[in-house]
Chains A and B, each alone.
Chain A
């Protein structure tokens, strides 16, 4: 897994794979910028109560303050109720970003556990577990979310759970695949031969190999979750008003599209920016952690 394929028999110790990966990542300016932007967004979201110039649900004299275009006092304008959209966007960031992160954590966690069990035990257990995965994968993820939301009362906790529990299958397959390929390789037997317990072997060898893929998947997934939550909120079945979420803000913007373009514009731009940054991050991670991007096949 070193960054560069060494000649067989070379006695030069490979540079630490982590160091190589970090160096390659840092060289990717887009990915690094994306990481900074993401950091800034999360920081802003955490500090929203301090940064927001207005209370996001503050309603004053509606007729006087509603539908105001962007200005110095209201950088993102005001909505139909006269609420400051910049403040709402900040609070919306809290909702969208935290949901994205939490749902991803659930998905990765469940997926890893599931895949690990399937891979480790193998045989009939593996077969049965993977059949279930096949069935779940057949449902388009978004439709699955729709169905579950429609059947269960979806408050924010249930929403996060649903988001997480519909997206773990990819990770499960990944982890299972890694374990299976580990089992197929001889050094598992070698380690057993010198008496290491099975679980320890799996953990020690599994983690470095699988970590790269899991990290890339996680980065992509956070972006995807943020998008999914936005879509669900846009449809009115995710986060419901008055709690601001970028998704339901765009939905409100649709109703007022003819008179107040800014209501839909800003939240959507923030969505696009955030998702783009996560995708760039994932790309950067993938390139940095992939040993095959340096072609040293032919020497």
Chain B
């Protein structure tokens, strides 16, 4: 098992209270597999992603659980051990295209830096590697582009450059946090293709964080659904789309517009709105909005129970069968 997250909890101690961005989250990612972590904005998926590489911004901290990457617990690793894993074995792509790029250095220079730090290449070799990578991610005229500054590139190109940087040291796992959200639709498709291509040629696992179900459908083999900092359902992609079990997942999928549904088909949605993470409902945090909830749902958050076909669901009302 490449990555095994066990009972991970990341909390923020704020003036206004304790914010449990990630609460008792467990999942696994196998080598060369694409897993999607799905949820609406604010459900904690980004913090979960940052927790894996133990880079949660203060005042957040990992308070419980383990993050086993190839057997090593990253939540408890030393600073130096973490540093060696980041970039080298785990790559990270951020949401804003090129936010990962420092505006005052050239694109090629920054990619080069990763190679120099982790691969111990000579400056000459690192430069050549950077140029080659820029070409690999689909940017035309790589030598010229390598000498450019981030602001000289379009959003799509910046994201490609950021991806190049993330995969430059040949990591085994690529964590992509909303890689397409801030891009135009046409560019989104190109980035998705790029990620799939890179995965094939480099045999990387990808942990895809997103709220865009369309992208998920194209890329993911397995899907994890997150709500208010907890995992509420996991399933293979096809099974989830065909037959979602958890009421929240059903609501999510129901609210996606479908082509050909007709003008009069009602817009699906989930009643109410996502609760404030500082002010969560007791018990199952979804119960105020849930069509099948009853009093027993107010006691404690339902555990994630494994079901048939490698699925799991965190709902008292859903039974394995």
Q: Which residues of A contact B (CB under 8 A)?
A: 3-4, 6-12, 24, 27, 294-299
Contact = CB atoms under 8 A, between A and B. Distances in A.
Contacts of B276: 6-7, 10, 12
Nearest to B43: A299
Contacts of A295: 57-59
Best-buried of B16, B19, B50 by chain A (most CB within 10 Å): B16
B1 interface: no
B50 A10 contact: no
Interface in B130-162: none
A294 B19 CA distance: 12
A299 B21 contact: yes
B256 interface: no
Interface string B1-28: 0000000000000111001010000000
B138 to A, nearest CB: 29
Nearest to A293: B15
Interface of B: 14-16, 19, 21, 41-42, 44, 46-47, 50, 57-60, 272-279
Best-buried of B15, B57, B274 by chain A (most CB within 10 Å): B15
A8 B273 CA distance: 9
Given A298-B57, A299-B47, A7 B16 contact: no
A8 B277 CA distance: 11
Q: Which 6 A-B pairs have the closest CB atoms?
A: A9-B273, A7-B42, A12-B276, A10-B276, A11-B273, A299-B42
Contacts of B42: 7-8, 299
A298 B50 contact: yes
Contact of B272 (A11, A24, A27, A298): A11
A24 B44 CA distance: 26
Contacts of A298: 21, 46-47, 50, 57, 60
Contact of B44 (A6, A297, A299): A299
Contact of A9 (B21, B274, B277): B274
Contacts, number: 52
A10 B273 contact: yes
A144 B71 CA distance: 69
Contacts of A24: 15
A24 B275 CA distance: 24
A294 B59 CA distance: 9
Contacts of A4: 14-16, 278
A294 B44 contact: no
Nearest to B21: A299
A9 to B, nearest CB: 4
B230 to A, nearest CB: 14
A294 B58 CA distance: 10
A299 B57 contact: no
Given A7-B275, A7-B277, A27-B15, 6 more contacts: A3-B15, A6-B276, A8-B42, A11-B272, A298-B21, A299-B277
Nearest to B229: A299
A1 to B, nearest CB: 15
Nearest to B278: A4
